[in-house]
Amino acid sequence: MQDLLRRINRGIEKESLRINPAGKLALTPHPAALGAPLTHPSITTDYSEALLEFITPVDSSVENTLKTLEDIHRYVYQQLDDEILWSTSMPCIVSGDDSIPVAKYGSSNVARMKTVYRYGLGHRYGRPMQTIAGIHYNFSMPEQYWEQEWRSAAAPGSLKDWITERYLGLIRNFHRYSWLLIYLFGASPALCSSFLKGRDEHGLQAFDEQSKTLYLPHATSLRMGDLGYNSAAQRGLSVCYNSLDNYIDTLRSAIMQPHPDYAQFASGQNGQYQQLNDSLLQIENEFYSTIRPKRVARSGEPPLRALRRGGIEYIEVRCIDVSPFTAVGIDAAQARFLDTFLLFCLIQDSPRCDNAEQQRLDSNLKTVVNRGREPGLRLQTPSGEKSLRDWGNELFEGISEVAKLLDQAHGCELYSESVAAERGKIEDAELTPSARVLREMRERELPFFRLAMAYSEHWAEHFRSQPLDAAALARFEQQKAKSLQAHAATESGDSISFDEYLQQFYAQYEAL
């Protein structure tokens, strides 16, 4: 078993805005020197041309994963000229929808679908929301772990279904305890007022007399609240993680059923596309969640069909803020804590969730997002209210035991050390990154924008002063060349119209 715990797999997807020297969103196209974003395995874009996304391959080594992420940053900085990467989750200076260019991927059907989807997101939620950056942490156990566990349980059903059920249990527990991650790692208690220009009912406070910074005194991660990846239209979407079939059927229905709020945007009439369809969800990725069940999809295959075909392969954690205090937004100690936390969620008993519990979990998450560092804060449990401090300490008892298992497997004490450091934040909220952001703003007399700009410039200099070695540079140049070749092949490979392409794509949901 110890050997199997050394082979836990992880991958990181990290988003960063490109900005100009004045700290405004870059309006330049995705740099051609980085390759083709549609086909590059490591460097792509998310919503905007300016929102870069860096992707590491699956790896069982924390050190290798972070070294790869650092190398991607170094390579990108060698191509950026005077632009730099924004170092926080909440964006730099933005000036409304018109200042945020939607990502372009080419003229092929698959490229056009990606761009139209993004136009749809902009119409539905506003483009500023799509400039928020985050870190997605992908996690999976090795196949041999599952085989051993399955045999130990007398091999019930199929191995595929066993793995899926266990990952669903992890996801349910994650929803129960994810408030802890928001508290420990939330780093967005404040934002630039330009993000909310024209919006008055946001409930935030002015940080200074100039009101260029808005914040909440005890907030942890405004990115994860109503201002960030949240949708009023989706609040009525009750997604259940008690069974994979229920999860798939709920999202499939949301993709297939028209939603009256979105009928105003063209979705193919007279060849005009401002969204892919007028349903509650254009595709399943539009469902905003702190965690997703995932399986690598085949070419042209929707994620839900991949899950139906092969079950859950890994999970994607989506509630991690980019930290301005580390070079790539996350460090090895945090990665080890995340591995420990997720393994804890996996091995703990995970009863099925009902609507009453889901309402409690939603309430707890919102409470910690907006008031997580408030002294004496209390959260809801099945047996009544409990203080965040008491509940946090109870969870850390179990998490600490899992850390010992990982230490034994790796022959180190790094996992226990990371857990002990995080536990200190339960006793002293001033140790949290959200508290540090506000403290440094006060001590350095800087609004949010200026503090984030200072860290962005600091990390830009860090990477520019440590260029890639020749071998690593050659690897990225090869990736770039292959991405351009693959993009050219995609551009010339279509044999059907865009309308037909979408019809065939959505027919796969009909068949689920």
What is the pLDDT at residue 439?
Answer: 98
pLDDT higher than threshold 70 for residue 421: yes
Say if residue 295's pLDDT is above 90.
yes
Cα–Cα distance between 275 and 16 in angstroms, integer? Answer: 25
Q: Which helix (H) or strand (E) holds 355?
A: helix 355-371
Q: Do the Cβ atoms of 187 and 323 come closer than 8 Å?
A: yes
Confidence of residue 238 (pLDDT cuts 50, 70, 90): confident
**Structure token digits, residue 70:** 């650092």
Q: How confident is the model at residue 1 (pLDDT cuts 50, 70, 90)?
A: confident
Q: Which residues of 346-360 are buried (b: 16+ CB within 10 A; e: fewer)?
A: bbbebeebeeebbeb
Mean pLDDT, residues 207-218: 88
Q: pLDDT category, 199, cuts 50, 70, 90?
A: confident
How far apart CA 278 and CA 371 sit, in angstroms, is 36
Give 335-364 pLDDT, tens digit per residue. 999 999 999 999 999 999 999 999 999 999
The amino acid that residue 109 corresponds to is N
The percent of residues in the chain predicted with pLDDT above 70, rounded, is 99
Mean of pLDDT over the chain: 95
Output the CA–CA distances (angstroms, integers) from residue 49 to 97, 105, 169, in the order listed. Answer: 13, 9, 37
Which domains does the chain carry?
A: 2-510 (3.30.590.20)
Integer CA distances (angstroms), 437 to 16, 97, 218, 291, 425, in order: 18, 27, 11, 25, 15
Mean pLDDT of 461-465: 97
Instruction: At 430, list the tokens.
Output: 């001033």
Q: What is the pLDDT of residue 233?
A: 72
Residue-wise DSSP of 245-295: HHHHHHHHHHHHSB-GGGTTS-BSGGG-BSSS-SBS-SSGGGS--SEEEE-
pLDDT tens profile 47-64: 999 999 999 999 999 999
Distance CA 186, CA 85 (A): 20
Counting DSSP H helices and E strands in the chain, the numbers are 15, 12
Query: What's residue 231's pLDDT?
Result: 67
Model confidence at 25: pLDDT above 70 = yes
What six digits make up the tokens of 471? 């071998």
Q: Side chain identity at 173, as an amino acid letter?
A: N
Distance CA 384, CA 382 (A): 6
Nearest to 502 by CA among 6, 113, 216: 113
Contact (Cβ atoms closer than 8 angstroms) between residue 137 and residue 339: no
Whether the per-residue pLDDT at 235 is higher than 80: the answer is no
pLDDT surpassing 70 at residue 230: no
Neighbours of 260 (CB within 10 A): 8
Neighbours of 420 (CB within 10 A): 13
Cα–Cα distance list, 156 to 152, 163, 341, 351 (Å): 10, 11, 27, 18
95-104, 275-284, 322-331, 332-341, range with the lowest pLDDT: 95-104
| Mean pLDDT within 205-223 | 91
What CA–CA distance (Å, rounded) separates 275 from 117? Answer: 6
Query: Over the stretch 64-96, which tens digit does the pLDDT of each residue have?
Result: 999 999 999 999 999 999 999 999 999 998 888
pLDDT of residue 229: 62
- The 10 Å Cβ neighbour count of residue 501 is 18
